[in-house]
Structure 1
Amino acid sequence: MGHLTTLTGVVVLASMLIPEAAAQSCSGVTGRYQPKMGSGYRSSVLATGLRQPRHIVVDSAGNLLVAEGGSQGVRRLVLQDNGNIVCVQSNTQIVSGSTNHGIALSADGKTLFTSNLASVTAYSYDAATGQVGTGKQIVTGMSFQGTHPTRAITTSKWSPDTILVARGSQSNIDTSTTQQSAARSMIKSFSISQGLQTAHNYNTGGEVLAWGLRNIVGMTEDPIYGGFWSVENQMDDLRLNGRDIHTDNPAERLSYHGVLNATTNRYKGLNYGYPSCVPAWDPQNVGISGLLVGGLFKPDGVPNVAADECANSRMTGRLHFHAHTAPLDIKFNKNSTSAYIAFHGSWNRNPADGYRVTRVDFQDGQPVHGVTSKTAQIPVMENSNIGGCPNSCFRPVGLDFDQKGRLFVSSDTSGEIYVIYGA
């Protein structure tokens, strides 16, 4: 796989919205939607006509690599500055037919990783030319039967030989994941160098970083403090004692997993409760005395646990978010003062919620807000008409920063890449 195939018939350059100024754009094209931007931010549409763009990564030369869904492969967008906006100089396919969601680069930028529902594949990669080598599977065994086919992946700069792979549940309530041996609803770490020699089997290999996590679709590492973080999509159609409480429960979750290369990591291997215990977003609606935001409780239809297990024996998140907003990615800015989160949006609540990018402020490696806060999110980029979602709006999926501090955002349903300035 060393050739480049140029995409034809796809529009890749688009307009930008600049408050209180004449609109500027790259040559030729306007995006489908006009986002509402938070204070201090502005945006442009970098690319349109893509095929379900999912996670994205900026390479060491400043090019944007995009994993397209449905086994469409990886596209390389070579970028150039045009005044105070960024445009696409060329758009080529560099990997075909092997991805459905995940993409990552090694710490030195010379190896490209992609994931599909069954495996993780590594390619040698030249950021200057876009050339890739022949793919080699380094993690296998993740067969898919159910509703969560994404396999989020990321690498570590603090532990450069490590790749992290998340595998979600195979159903809304996956009862077998009460046992680690199910090898689902967890994050595992694997040695890259060993995988290049002999592929790891996800079911039996690697180390469990965290489990009891229903569906992790976004993971990242703090560039300054080294902490590893994940965002989780929690359970749908929740009931408690026969009562429907699903509109505002359970909470989506931001979880902390320690520093990967630490000599002692007390967070390593912790169980976060799924499928038996879920976190509250609206404790009053749950109706359990003393329950706080993020507190774990046992709903109907899940495997039985001891009376105090949810409260005392399972790890909860560091921050929590509105039910069913579906966080799919998280990235820190370069000085780790903020983490940005892409919320793909709800299908399991009415009215709809999500469909936005928000910011969470950090200090000394941890969120400024406390665990029970409901006000930690700061608006960055939202749909002007959320009533048009999910079919007639942008739906954020992947995030990544370039060295100039520009934040790139993919929208799978609209086939677009946005750029946020001021992040």
Structure 2
Amino acid sequence: MSNIKFLLWVLMVFNQTFAVSRDSDAPTVCKINQGSLNYPSPSIADGYTYQLLTDQLNRPRNLIFDTDGNLLVSGDPDGIFVLRIREVGHGCVMYDGKTLLEGTSGLNLNHGLALSRDGRTLFASSANIAYSWKYDPTTPSIDNSSRRNVVTGMDSDGHTTRTLLTSKLYSDVLLVSRGSNGNLDMDAKHLPKGKCMIKAFSHSKTEEQDFATQGNLLGWGLRNSVGIGEDSRGGIWAVENSADNLIRERINIHQNNPAEELNFLGPLKETAFREGYVAPNYGYPYCFAAWNPKDITPATYAIGVGDQFALVMNNSFTDSTCRDKFQAPRLSFQAHVAPLDIKFHPQTGHAWISFHGSWNRDAPVGYSLSVVEFQGSEPKAPKNSTNSAMNIMWNGNIAGCPSKCFRPVGIAFDSAGRVWVTSDSTGEIYIITPPQSSLSELPLSNGTRDTNSASNFSRRHSGAAPLIHGGVSLTKIIVGVAVICALLLGGRVPML
């Protein structure tokens, strides 16, 4: 009888010792290179691995880490959610539930999310307003009494996301991107209308600022620059979603034109902080970048990939006008891949870009997380490149796109150099671990790298899973089972 009581006591201690708090949303087993069961698992480049953290979110868009390692996620109509992240060994990551950040509901927040450089001010956006709150990462919580309207006057139909970016180099800068009202928005040609542009605002000002009439202009003629990123030198880059259903000279060119764009808006110290700076116009709604130049006929000059062409020409406005008067992109991408975020890896310096995927093309394209390699402050690829973006994670089977496939949006990096990415249509967050070599090679002091990583990319699928279950290691489980078996067999186990 005493042995039975002792056995029950051991079982109770074993259960309490190795029990972990569980969240109904969190997967009980950390599986590598295996997605949800709702669609075929995404493919991953050779040497990389991924873990599905969760598939239970509501249209997650942007995500950021606070200074305490909590993960904040935008996109849910109910507001901003916080996920408490923990490592459970063997590279496995789990989270202990998600919590609504009280005070963010009821504001129609939809996309934009940022933290100040010191991590103590939170910014989020609706279609009309960019808000700020005092933020405490230790709780985590916001001070509702501190809520301010930082930027207002942005409401419109069509593109309603207002992307936000705070500078890592300058403490009082909030960048805001506002897109077009519809596919071709003629208001964009009038600067005072405040459409299709990226501006820099001082977020320390106590009074609200009007988007159209205040702030410092970085660039305009940008149809819908959803993704904005800052490189390590303070240079601002934006990825552009260009127009759909284009017809030029009565010819439908929309399958492969216009190109999506990577645009350089310059370093903040030479643009937003320079008195009298005149921001460049990138052409919209007059001019667009070519992806398939053969479709752009007749042309008034030899148009190549990434060169500007006019949608409508007359005696005073031609393709040559677009080339000479407007700013061309630094790189171009396949039409309709829909880039939604760009972030620079803190260790390699390369640009990671999420391509949300097409709807305006017969053969779907995009639906991938990709890398554009940088050398110093410039992309390695020439301006007319057609293969500058290398796929890291993508859908090998796109039959279920757009609703049932990996459809990336927001990108964030953790302190270990891993890449976190949301998939809005499937409610997911993935964690991508790069090869160790890619985390140790860059950046050098001059930003150089003598390697050709393009040859290393190939499809990799693996169902391997580390032996982790809810944070309990295999060793602990074996020890516990051994203790119980010894007792059941009448053996004696010394107390430790």
- TM-score greater than 0.5 by the shorter chain: yes
Equivalent of 1:56 in 59, 63, 67: 63
CA RMSD of aligned residues (A): 2.2
| Cα deviation, residue 47, structure 1 | 1.7
Whether contact under 8 Å (1:276, 1:305) holds in the other structure is no
Structure 1 residue 336: Cα displacement: 4.5
After TM superposition, the score normalised by the length of structure 1 is: 0.90
What residue in structure 1 maps to residue 207 of structure 2? 198
Structure possessing the higher radius of gyration over alpha carbons: 2
Which residue of structure 2 lines up, in the alignment, with residue 104 of structure 1? 114
2: distance between equivalents of 1:391 and 1:253? Answer: 25
1:386 aligned onto 2:398? yes
1:45 maps onto 2:52 in alignment: yes
Using a 3 Å threshold, how does the CA distance of structure 1 residues 17 and 383 change in structure 2: closer, same or farther? farther
Q: Does residue 101 of structure 2 align to residue 89 of structure 1?
A: no
SS class of match (2:294): helix
Describe how 1:131-280 pairs up with structure 2 within 5 A. 131-134=141-144, 135-144=147-156, 146-194=157-205, 197-222=206-231, 224-262=232-270, 269-280=279-290
Letter matched to residue 303 of structure 2: L
In 1, Cα distance between equivalents of 2:426 and 2:151: 31
What residue identity is the alignment partner of 2:256?
D
How far is the alpha carbon of 1:285 from its aligned partner?
2.0
Report deviation, 1:156. 0.5
Q: Provide the rounded CA distance (Å) in 2 between the counterparts of 1:221 and 1:266.
A: 22
Amino acid aligned to 1:361:
E
Q: 1:121 aligns with which of 119, 126, 131?
A: 131
Question: Which residue in the other structure is 2:425 paired with?
Answer: 413
2:74 aligned counterpart, secondary structure: strand
Residue type matched to 2:384 in 1? Answer: T
The change in CA–CA distance for 1:81 and 1:265 in structure 2 (over 3 A counts) is farther
Could you say which residue in structure 2 is the equivalent of 1:75? 81
Instruction: Identify if the C-alpha distance between structure 1 residues 46 and 30 changes in structure 2 by more than 3 Å, giving closer, same or farther.
Output: farther
Q: Which moved more, 1:123-132 or 1:270-279?
A: 123-132
Determine if contact 1:225/1:364 at 8 Å carries over to the other structure. Answer: no
Counterpart in the other structure of 1:5: none
1-structure distance, mates of 2:226, 2:415: 24
Contact 1:155 1:164 in 2 (8 A): yes
User: Is 1:320 aligned with 2:332?
Assistant: yes
Q: Cα distance 1:14–1:339, how it changes in 2: closer, same or farther (>3 A)? A: farther
Distance 1:127 1:348, change over 3 A: same
**How far apart are 1:171 and its partner, in Å?**
1.3
Question: Using the alignment, how far apart are the partners of 1:336 and 1:110 within structure 2?
Answer: 27
Instruction: Report the equivalent of 2:25.
Output: 11
SS at match of 2:188: helix
Q: Distance in 2 between matches of 1:264 and 1:205?
A: 15
1:33, distance to aligned residue in structure 2 (A): 4.4
Conservation of the 8 A alpha-carbon contact between 1:147 and 1:171: yes
Structure 2 CA distance for aligned equivalents of residues 248 and 344 of structure 1: 17
User: Equivalents in 2 of 1:297, 1:306: separation in Å?
Assistant: 8
Identity %: 39
SS of residue matched to 2:80 = strand
Q: 2:132, 2:148 within 8 Å by CA — same for their partners in 1?
A: yes
Confirm or deny: 8 A CA contact 2:309 2:320 kept in the other structure: no
Aligned residue in 2 for 1:283: 293
Residue aligned with 1:13, SS:
coil
* Structure number having the greater strand percentage: 1
SS at match of 1:270: coil
Residue identity in the other structure for 1:79: I
C-alpha distance 247-266 of structure 1, shift in aligned 2 (>3 A): farther
Given that residues 258 and 268 in structure 1 are in contact (C-alpha distance below 8 angstroms), is that contact kept between their aligned partners in structure 2?
Answer: no
Aligned length: 403
In structure 2, distance between residues paired with 1:63 and 1:386: 33
SS in 1 for 2:352: strand
CA-CA distance at 1:39 after TM superposition: 1.6
CA contact (8 A) 1:68 1:75 kept: no
Task: After TM superposition, give the deviation of residue 32 of structure 1 in Å.
Answer: 5.0
Greater share of residues in helix: 2
In the TM superposition, what whole-angstrom CA distance separates every residue of 1:177-224 from its partner, at most 9, and x where no partner exists? 111111010001100111xx10001121111110000001110111x2
**Maintained 8 Å contact 1:239/1:300:** no
Moved over 4 A (4+): 14-17, 29-33, 263-268
C-alpha contact 2:342 2:411 (8 A) present in aligned 1: yes
Question: What is the distance in 2 between the residues matched to 1:268 and 1:53?
Answer: 36
Which deviations, in whole Å up to 9, do the C-alpha atoms of 1:28-56 show, x marking residues without a partner?
A: x8675411001221111112211111111
> CA offset at residue 72 of structure 1?
2.2
Determine if contact 1:162/1:192 at 8 Å carries over to the other structure. Answer: yes
CA separation of 1:160 and 1:216: change in aligned 2, threshold 3 A: same
Decide which moves more: 401-410 or 280-289.
280-289
Q: Is the 8 A contact 2:286 2:312 kept in 1?
A: no
Q: Out of 364, 369, 388, which is 2:376 matched to? A: 364
Structure 2 gaps, min length 5: 1-21, 436-496
Q: Alignment partner of 1:386: what SS? A: coil
Question: Using the alignment, how far apart are the partners of 1:363 and 1:338 within structure 2?
Answer: 8
Query: In structure 2, how many angstroms separate the alpha carbons of the residues matched to 1:335 and 1:9?
Result: 32
Q: What SS class does the counterpart of residue 142 from structure 2 fall into?
A: coil
Deviations, residues 109-168 of structure 1 (Å, cap 9, x unaligned):
110100010100001111121111112111111122x21011111101222101000000
Shift, 1:410, TM fit: 0.7
1:35, 1:238 → 2: CA distance? 31
